[in-house]
Amino acid sequence: MLLAPSVALAQAYRWVDEQGKVHYAEGLDSVPPQYRATATPIQFPKAPPPPPPPAPEKTDAEKAPADQPGEPEKPKEEGG
């Protein structure tokens, strides 16, 4: 029996029978009475936190290249 962690998972337990076979159960009441004293709770790892939300999309003004300070202005060509 294989248990997968879920949001509302009850405590899972592991125990070994007389033949040395490992068993798993969800909830101590699912473990046969003769093995409850030796059943051990299983700790599942916590889920990683969700990724941060995406950054808001930039407006056209924010997308336009900014003037670079310290650079000389290019002269405009006349005529044409």
If one compares 68 and 51, the residue with the highest pLDDT of the two is 51
CA 71 to chain centre: 47
Eight-class DSSP state of 21 = -
Q: By CB neighbour count within 10 A (0-12 exposed, 13-18 middle, 19+ buried), where does 14 fall?
A: middle
Can you give the pLDDT at residue 63? 72
Amino acid 71: pLDDT: 59
Question: What pLDDT band is residue 1 in, cutting at 50, 70 and 90?
Answer: low
- What is the biggest distance separating any 2 CA atoms in the chain, rounded to whole angstroms? 100
64 has pLDDT over 80? no
